[in-house]
Structure 1
Amino acid sequence: MDRIGNGLVVGDMKVFTGTLVHSTEEQPMAILENMAIGVCNGKIEFVASATDLEALKCERGISDDSIIALTSSQFLMPGLVDAHLHAPQFPNNGIHLDLPLLEWLQNFTFPTEAKFADVKFARAVYAKAVDRVLRCGTTTASYFASMHLEATKILSDIILERGQRALVGKVNMMVNCPDYYRELSVEDSLKKTEEFILYVRSLKSPLVQPIVTPRFAPTCPRDQLERLGQLAAKHQCHIQSHLCESRAEKAWVKDLFPGTKNYAEVYDSTGLLTEKTVMAHCVYLDDDEVALVRRGGTGVAHCPNSNLSLRSGICNVKRLLKEGLKVGLGTDCSGGFSASILDSLRQAVLVSKALSSMSDSTHLTLEESFRLATLGGAKVLHMSDRIGNFEPGKEFDALLVDVEAKGTPLDIFPEDTTEEKIQKFLYNGDDRNILQVFVAGRKVVDQMM
């Protein structure tokens, strides 16, 4: 058998043997030791005990050189899903986080995003952003771009070149934003958004899809929201926006849409709450709004780093899950300062523990947060039929992790169990522990070369 060798070539059967960890409906984190997972044409063909490997080799004609044996310090896990991030904000990651949301947008975010009118600037930033996100193990991401059509096309092209799975949205906004950074009219907004949808569809990639992206209700008048909802329905597109991120934002929406009962109803009444919709944050959903989001089948992208960094609030994820909402994780770069969903996973646990300490309620466990980062995110993006765990028939989006890779933050000891090694990675590991990243069976990151 080869040690982890030449990687996976789509069309060839490859079999990884060793430890797998993933989530199911029944188990937030299932650790499967001494397993064999077979991958062909980018999809998972089988998951079986490694003790059955000889029989599988005969049955399926698997050669010895197709078998890749993981070491005791290595495991495979599903690729991470980032349900909410802003690609044009990457120049601001880790800076300018002393203001609350609305002031932060006006003073730092809008000026940075306006620079993407320059396609050369856009190409340079987007290449760095996508490379960073992939190295962090995010195999699937839902990207906000800027309002610029050509720059957003460039983002789609770069994602396709790098081999990531993604939803990409041209931002729509025309009111309550700077004169230098706004769309001219609803017609202009719709025309360019539809052109972008058709452009992405012309790429004919199963990995990169368009997503209709009104920035949030305060920047979009009702007729723009309605027309965007109609456009999404026409092209059967995903939709993404922001909902109930901060108290000030929620109060502002109440003033801007006086005939509407609450923030969620603004989106619901304009056709934007669907089963293919992702709403970021949802920190301040009241009970009626929870019911609306649940009825629409809409997913929630929980962004704990951003919520803390911008002092927006603390989202009670356990409540949303108990109410039957689909919840995944987002980095919300640059409101969140880290591009890694591992950071979001950890922050989600800590935020939930902080809430539980004040109310004596149960908190989100590490295992539950792991599920949010993988299968939960797949559900939020309406992709759980294809990705999110290692069920046979799904596409092989996976990370090969080594907890003893050189130069990483982990200290592993002989007495550590497999479960403890995985916990150490989830709490302390980083991109240096992620040796290889696979999307639909294609190796898109390889730190072993």
Structure 2
Amino acid sequence: MADTPTIFRGTFVHSTKEEDMAIRNDMVIGVRRGKIIFIEHETRLPDLISEYCVPGVNVRHLEKWQFLIPGLVDTHIHAPQYAFAGSNMDLQLYDWLKTYTYPTEAKFKDLTYAMDVYTKVVDRTLKNGTTTACYYATLHRDATNLLLQVIEKAGQRAFVGKVNMDCCSPSYYQETTQESLEETKKFVESTISKKNPLVTPIVTPRAFGTTSEKLLASLGRLSQQYQLPVQTHVLETRGDVSTQTFDRLHAWDKAGLLKHNTVLAHCVYMSDVQLDLVRQRGSGIAHCPNSNITLRSGFLDVRNVLEKGCKIGLGTDVSGGYSRSVLAALRFASQVSNTIAIQREERGENYKMLSYKELFRLATLGGSEVMGLDETTGNFQVGKDFDAIVVDPVVENSPFDVFPNDTFSDVIQKFLFLGDDRNMIDVFVAGARVSGR
């Protein structure tokens, strides 16, 4: 019966407001209609089975070393760029955009091509445990609708944005201001009409430099009218510092585009004054370390962002970032933090690099906070949706090994730094199994 709960018994690992990583052993989690209805110690299992009339087949006993983690959150990914992920990494950002990205994205007016790429990227991200993704599509409304349909069919939780660009891009890949607004509004209204709680349209001015002030103002009104999230790229390269001034960020704020569910990608060169404004507005930062290294953009000081009290999560930034795995983003974030620590130590400064527990938080609860979804997903809490991954460290053909003297903490760390989709034997979104072995 649909109202009969499913119970998971074993260890779960998640982040809370108070703890970057909490390991809870010998627990039971009850899930009904996609939501967590109880979290109790396993000694309560017989009473809970009786109280909720749960048949034995609905009780999942996790095996030794298996554990549950929240679904991974990708706060910044370009779905069309998956077509060339892992290639074309020989240029820096703006030459890379002109040479590879814009020509590829322009192809998405061909819906057959779009369907092929979008089906593969959604399938691949789900296999890698991305239960929530914040997607950029292209300028094309029809192709963006296709991406939405693929996501709905797969059961992923996602923000989906039809890109807005009415200036400073190639003539073959640009809209008029009016066209951009009208097409975006049609996409927003058709998506909202679906009343699917897992998919949300997101207002997507591509970057500060590719959207006119007139279009920004109109998109701000659209965002306010429908209470929509917003995403864009901000201060990604050193060259952006001279053009993307505080006044530009202030213009965004004036347009109503800086708010609790605004996702600002990169922010590598954001000043403390700008970070203060981001914090005041409750906006969040998508840290994309793979892309920032691959395109040689720079190193974001996540420690400084955290100390400023800003929300921050991880983004793969496919295809500037060549991996679709949030775990890979976590590992790159660790290396960036370590690199900054080395640079600071050479200057005689003390610097606290990111711990694996903090990195885990960025990949889960931190990402949900950035997207304004932390009341819905991001950790295990009664009333939240059950977005989760069953991790099996000793699955056949696992990319790492577990030894008798390993502690549970050791195994968790091995999974974070060595694990991959082979270890993710079940992936759930709102209680529904969407991927796994």
TM-score range normalised by the length of the shorter chain? over 0.9
**Residues 68 and 389, structure 2, Cα contact 8 Å, conserved in 1:** yes
Where do residues 34-113 of structure 1 align in structure 2 (5 Å cutoff)? 34-113=26-105
Question: Which of the residues 261, 274, 294 maps onto 1:309?
Answer: 294
Q: Distance in 2 between matches of 1:336 and 1:151?
A: 22
The SS at the match of 2:171 is coil
**Residues 10 and 442, structure 1, Cα contact 8 Å, conserved in 2:** no
- The Cα offsets for residues 312-339 of structure 1, whole Å up to 9 and x where unpaired, read as 1000011111111010110000010000
The SS at the match of 2:202 is strand
Shift of residue 195, structure 1, vs aligned partner: 0.1
- The Cα offsets for residues 162-183 of structure 1, whole Å up to 9 and x where unpaired, read as 0000000000002111111100
Shift of residue 100, structure 1, vs aligned partner: 1.0
Q: Distance in 2 between matches of 1:234 and 1:369?
A: 35
Q: Distance in 2 between matches of 1:313 and 1:10?
A: 50
Question: Which of the residues 226, 230, 238 maps onto 1:239?
Answer: 230
Quote the sequence identity (%).
47
Higher mean displacement: 59-68 or 45-54: 59-68
The SS at the match of 1:245 is coil
Q: Distance in 1 between matches of 2:336 and 2:248?
A: 24
**Residues 162 and 203, structure 2, Cα contact 8 Å, conserved in 1:** yes
Q: Distance in 2 between matches of 1:189 and 1:357?
A: 45
Which residue number corresponds to residue 190 of structure 1?
181
The SS at the match of 1:202 is helix
Question: Which of the residues 396, 409, 414 maps onto 1:424?
Answer: 414
Which residue number corresponds to residue 14 of structure 1?
6
Matched, 1:227 2:212: no
Matched, 1:141 2:133: yes
TM-score between the two structures when normalised by the length of structure 1: 0.94
Corresponding letter in the other structure for 1:13: P
Corresponding letter in the other structure for 2:274: E
The SS at the match of 1:247 is coil
Which residue number corresponds to residue 353 of structure 1?
338
Which residue number corresponds to residue 193 of structure 2?
202
**Residues 92 and 334, structure 1, Cα contact 8 Å, conserved in 2:** yes
- The Cα offsets for residues 328-366 of structure 1, whole Å up to 9 and x where unpaired, read as 110000010000000011111121111122223101111
Shift of residue 12, structure 1, vs aligned partner: 3.2
Corresponding letter in the other structure for 1:99: L
Shift of residue 11, structure 1, vs aligned partner: 3.8
**Residues 11 and 42, structure 1, Cα contact 8 Å, conserved in 2:** no
Which residue number corresponds to residue 311 of structure 2?
326
The SS at the match of 1:344 is helix
Matched, 1:396 2:386: yes
Shift of residue 216, structure 1, vs aligned partner: 0.4
Matched, 1:272 2:257: yes
Which residue number corresponds to residue 347 of structure 2?
none
Which residue number corresponds to residue 166 of structure 1?
158
- The Cα offsets for residues 187-220 of structure 1, whole Å up to 9 and x where unpaired, read as 1111000000011112220001100000001111
**Residues 129 and 421, structure 2, Cα contact 8 Å, conserved in 1:** yes
Shift of residue 48, structure 1, vs aligned partner: 1.0
Matched, 1:120 2:112: yes
Shift of residue 294, structure 1, vs aligned partner: 1.1
**Residues 10 and 42, structure 1, Cα contact 8 Å, conserved in 2:** no
Question: Which of the residues 327, 350, 357 maps onto 1:367?
Answer: 357
TM-score between the two structures when normalised by the length of structure 2: 0.97
Q: Distance in 1 between matches of 2:249 and 2:335?
A: 27
Corresponding letter in the other structure for 1:207: L
